[in-house]
């Protein structure tokens, strides 16, 4: 993606950056606890290389981000204050605007809001990989008005994810979990073109079980997606690709007690995790791969009783010699919880954005920079 301007291109175009006001769109959408404390500052730290590159050159950096999903008006619950405090510790003297989504113009991509954002700004840098799949004002607007470039984080994310998509090393395995197949359908279809195998865990697997005619008890599933799962299984077979589904499940029985099952769950039983046999089998697939992309936990890992499938897969990601990429969100949080986040090749700061980039090979935020 050489056609997207980098920071060096921006400097060449604008000239001396000293004293220039540079708007940096970051993804500071960090998890907060009930008291409003940041529980993981990964996304703030990830923006530092770009911020430091600019401040070293004397630029006046103005950062801007959304936080949560406020409804287009100020909401104290989503104030940027905790982020401002942490940012001041990590990068003193860097400005941070108030939550972009306090203005309805942000998600609506209102030109008037874009004009407000670029007022007095000499250059724009997009380093908000996690939000670059959104056609929001702060993502797609500024490049139409001021010289623009991608920051270091965005550049790294794009390099790694497009590398998976366009230059796969085989065996290339995608490990997908989470609750909803509907969220991942597009990416599964796109991945089937490049991967050798897809490993499926999480509640998603019950929709596949239902498609295979297996009883799933009262497990979470998407009835609307059963036919789609049946089609995906058929399509994979046709393409000579393997879809690995769990063949044992951990959960609760009809009385609510912890229980182990095969891949058939009786009435009233609920599956919450892949079983130990499946976790071991999935480990083998990951160990034998040369490239692995993982998105979505294997089970309800927040509950220690149902964490072992996700922990085993996370450990396999750490142990394999494969090039390993973890797509943001819950799987990144799981990896951090198991203290394995330094053991994989790349942890993406974007959940939805990484899936969409793998699916489409492009993002609205990248297209906007390319046109700049």
Query: Of 27, 155, 273, 356, which lies in the binding site for ligand 3PG, with binding defined by CB under 6 A?
Result: 27
Report, in Å, the least distance between residue 57 CB and ligand 3PG. Answer: 27
Determine which residue in the list 16, 37, 39, 69 makes contact with ligand 3PG, applying CB under 6 A.
69
Which of 147, 168, 327, 352 is the binder for ligand 3PG (CB under 6 A)? 352
Give min distance, CB of 40 to ligand 3PG, in A: 12
User: CB neighbours of 95 closer than 8 A, spacing ≥ 6?
Assistant: 60, 61, 62, 63
Strand partners, 243: 198
Backbone angles phi, psi at 194, to 5 degrees: -110, -30
Pick from 6, 10, 26, 29: which binds ligand 3PG (CB under 6 A)?
29
Q: Which residues contact 238 (CB under 8 A, 6 or more apart)?
A: none
How many residues sit in the footprint of ligand 3PG (CB under 6 A)? 8
Q: Which of 278, 348 has the CB closer to ligand 3PG? A: 348
Angle between helix axes 152-166 and 48-56 (nearest 10 degrees) is 130
Pair 176, 295: CB distance under 8 Å: yes
Q: Which residue is nearest to ligand 3PG (CB)?
A: 29
Check whether 152 is labelled as a binding-site residue. no
**Closest to 245 (Cα-Cα) out of 213, 218, 269:** 213
Range list of β-strands (E), 177-290: 197-200, 242-244, 249-252, 258-261, 270-274
Alpha-carbon gap, residue 341 to 332, rounded angstroms: 7
Question: Any known ligand binding at 68?
Answer: yes
- For the bound state, the minimum distance from the C-beta of residue 236 to ligand 3PG, rounded and expressed in Å, comes to 28
Minimum separation from the CB atom of position 131 to ligand 3PG (A): 5
Q: Which is nearer to ligand 3PG, 270 or 366 (CB)?
A: 366
Residue nearer to ligand 3PG on the CB measure, 96 or 286: 96
**H/E element holding 63?**
strand 60-64
Residue 43 CB, shortest distance to ligand 3PG, in Å, is: 8
Residue 25, interface with ligand 3PG (CB under 6 A)?
A: no
* Residues in 99-138 that interact with ligand 3PG by CB under 6 A: 130-131, 134
- The answer to the question of whether 134 is labelled as a binding residue is yes
Q: Does 71 bind ligand 3PG (CB under 6 A)?
A: no
296 lines the binding site for ligand 3PG (CB under 6 A): no
Q: Is the dihedral of CA 10, 159, 87, 352 positive or negative?
A: positive
Report the interhelical angle of 352-360 vs 152-166 (nearest 10°). 50
Q: Which of 289, 113, 286, 290 lies closest to 298, judged by CA?
A: 286
Cα–Cα dist 308/333, whole Å: 15
- Annotated ligand binding at 29? The verdict is yes
Nearer to ligand 3PG by Cβ, of 26 and 372: the residue is: 26
Q: At 285, is the secondary structure helix, strand, or coil?
A: helix
- CB atoms near residue 129 (< 10 Å): 31
Tell which one of 275, 327, 351, 364 touches ligand 3PG (CB under 6 A).
Answer: 351
Q: Number of helices and strands (H, E) in the chain?
A: 16, 14
Return the active site residues: 43, 180, 329, 352
Least CB distance from residue 279 to ligand 3PG, whole Å? 27
356 sits near ligand 3PG (criterion: CB under 6 A)? no
Binding site per annotation, positions? 27-29, 43, 66-69, 101, 134, 184, 271, 302, 328-331
Residues at the contact surface with ligand 3PG, assessed by CB under 6 A: 27, 29, 69, 130-131, 134, 351-352
């Amino acid at each position: 993606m050489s056609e997207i301007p980098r920071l060096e291109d921006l400097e060449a175009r604008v000239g001396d950056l000293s004293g220039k006001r540079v708007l940096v769109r970051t993804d500071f959408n960090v998890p907060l606890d009930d008291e409003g404390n940041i529980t993981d500052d990964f996304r703030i730290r990830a923006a530092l290389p770009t911020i430091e590159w600019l401040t070293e050159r004397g630029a006046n950096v103005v950062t801007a981000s959304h936080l949560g999903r406020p409804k287009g008006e100020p909401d104290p619950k989503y104030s940027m204050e905790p982020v401002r405090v942490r940012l001041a510790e990590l990068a003193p003297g860097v400005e941070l605007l108030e939550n972009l989504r306090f203005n309805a113009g942000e998600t609506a991509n209102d030109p008037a809001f874009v004009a407000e954002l670029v007022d007095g700004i000499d250059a724009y840098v997009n380093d908000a990989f996690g939000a670059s799949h959104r056609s929001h004002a702060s993502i797609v607007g500024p490049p139409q008005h001021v010289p623009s470039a991608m920051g270091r984080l965005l550049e790294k994310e794009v390099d790694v994810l497009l590398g998976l998509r366009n230059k796969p090393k085989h065996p290339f395995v995608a490990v997908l979990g989470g609750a909803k197949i509907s969220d991942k359908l597009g990416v599964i279809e796109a991945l089937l073109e490049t991967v050798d195998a897809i490993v499926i865990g999480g509640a998603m697997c019950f929709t596949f079980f239902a498609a295979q005619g297996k009883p799933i008890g009262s497990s979470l599933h998407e009835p609307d997606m059963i036919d789609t799962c049946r089609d995906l299984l058929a399509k994979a077979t046709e393409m000579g690709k393997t879809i690995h589904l769990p063949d044992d499940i951990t959960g609760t029985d009809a009385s609510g007690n912890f229980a182990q099952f095969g891949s058939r769950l009786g009435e009233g039983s609920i599956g919450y995790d892949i079983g130990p046999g499946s976790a071991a089998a999935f480990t083998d697939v990951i160990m034998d791969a040369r490239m692995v992309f993982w998105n979505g936990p294997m089970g309800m890992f927040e509950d220690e009783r149902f964490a072992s499938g996700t922990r085993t897969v996370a450990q396999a990601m750490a142990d394999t010699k494969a090039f390993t990429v973890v797509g943001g969100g819950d799987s990144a949080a799981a990896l951090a919880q198991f203290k394995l986040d330094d053991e994989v090749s790349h942890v993406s700061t974007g959940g939805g954005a990484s899936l969409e980039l793998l699916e489409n090979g492009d993002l609205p935020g990248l297209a906007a920079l390319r046109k700049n």
